[in-house]
Amino acid sequence: MTSEPTTTFRTSNTALAAYLISEGFGTPDVEFVNDSRAFFLFPKDNPKIQDFINAWDTVKAEGNVVMFFQAYQTLLRRVRERY
């Protein structure tokens, strides 16, 4: 039995989601689970997304701080509006 590769990157890390937005990976869908947790869903249609996730995970992420902060605030607002 082989598993199919996932076509979506899913994270509850708001800062990572904001970083991916600021790096041009688009606005994610938001999935709310049990009315207590939000997940951000990014399509894996761009193979470079994994490079940016790895850079974040290894503390090597670089980018535009202003764009990151604006994306972070927007994501927090979207989550708060839900709750």
What residue numbers bound the domain in which 24 lies? Answer: 8-82
Whether residue 6 has pLDDT greater than 90: no
The mean pLDDT value for 35-52 works out to 93
pLDDT at position 4, please?
55
The domain total for the chain is 1
Q: Tell me, yes or no, whether 3 lies in a domain.
A: no
Give the integer Cα–Cα distance in Å for 40 and 2: 26
Q: What is the pTM of this model?
A: 0.89
Q: Tell me, yes or no, whether 1 lies in a domain.
A: no
* DSSP character at residue 27: P
Helices (H), the chain: 14-22, 49-57, 65-82
The mean pLDDT value for 53-82 works out to 96
Whether residue 36 has pLDDT greater than 90: no
pLDDT at position 30, please?
94
**Averaged pLDDT of the chain:** 92
